[in-house]
Amino acid sequence: MIIISENKKIIKNKKELESALNVKIKIREKEVSVEGNPEDEFTAEKVIEAVNFGFPLSAALLIKKEDYIFEVLNIKNYTHRKDLEVIRARIIGKEGKTFRTLSMLTECNFEIKDNEVGIIGAPEAIKNGEDAIIAIIHGSKQANVYAFLEKHQVQPVLDFGLKEQKGKRKTGKRLG
């Protein structure tokens, strides 16, 4: 699998990425190739895309460690306005306050690059993060978006023991 990357973070953190993602990374100019089993390759591609987008390595690696997902919203898909700088400024907020508050309320990580907003979070939380960004793009007041998020907090998923724990094997005990 080949990924186009101009990001120096990939080169700088190659060994850490290889060990964390269980893949072999080869870099030739702007091309990054990943070799490993298909599942690890897919995860590595998402992590590398997140790093290329501008996320810190620690946030990008959550995709592997926490079973998080990485989504990208294009601002242009949600508005016909031409003053995209104003919309980007509203999303970021004064001194990054809106981004920090959204991160706290949704438990997602946000980054903005050009006219796109990247979100890393748990699958259950991503929907709230996307809805909040779209509402701000549409012109909703930040306070109203925060109130919405506070009312619609994602409830923790109950573990019924159906998913096998990493590093632990299920015993063959039968119920009943």
Q: Would residue 129 count as lying in a domain?
A: yes
For residue 6, pLDDT over 70 is answered with no
For residue 88, pLDDT over 90 is answered with yes
**3-class secondary-structure state, position 152:** coil
The predicted-structure confidence for 106-115, as pLDDT tens digits, reads as follows: 999 999 999 9
Q: Would residue 105 count as lying in a domain?
A: yes
For residue 159, pLDDT over 70 is answered with no
- CA 65/CA 113 separation, integer angstroms: 24
Longest Cα–Cα distance in the chain: 64
Domain with 40, as residue range(s), is: 1-65
The predicted-structure confidence for 23-80, as pLDDT tens digits, reads as follows: 898 888 778 888 889 888 899 889 989 988 999 999 999 998 877 999 999 999 999 9
- Extract the tokens encoding 160: 């019924």
* Phi and psi at residue 172, to the nearest 5°: -85, 25
The predicted-structure confidence for 116-142, as pLDDT tens digits, reads as follows: 999 999 988 999 999 999 999 999 999
How many other C-beta atoms lie within 10 A of the C-beta of residue 168? 7
Question: What pairing do the DSSP bridges indicate for beta strands 31-35 and 109-113?
Answer: unpaired
Q: Are residues 94 and 28 in the same domain?
A: no
pTM metric for this prediction: 0.80
Q: Are residues 82 and 141 in the same domain?
A: yes
**What is the domain-level CATH number for residue 34?**
3.30.1370.10
Q: Would residue 170 count as lying in a domain?
A: no
Give rounded-to-5 percent helix, strand, coil for the chain: 50, 15, 30
Q: Would residue 175 count as lying in a domain?
A: no
Q: Are residues 61 and 93 in the same domain?
A: no
Give the per-residue pLDDT at 158.
Answer: 63
Q: Are residues 138 and 91 in the same domain?
A: yes
Q: Would residue 102 count as lying in a domain?
A: yes
- CA 173/CA 38 separation, integer angstroms: 32
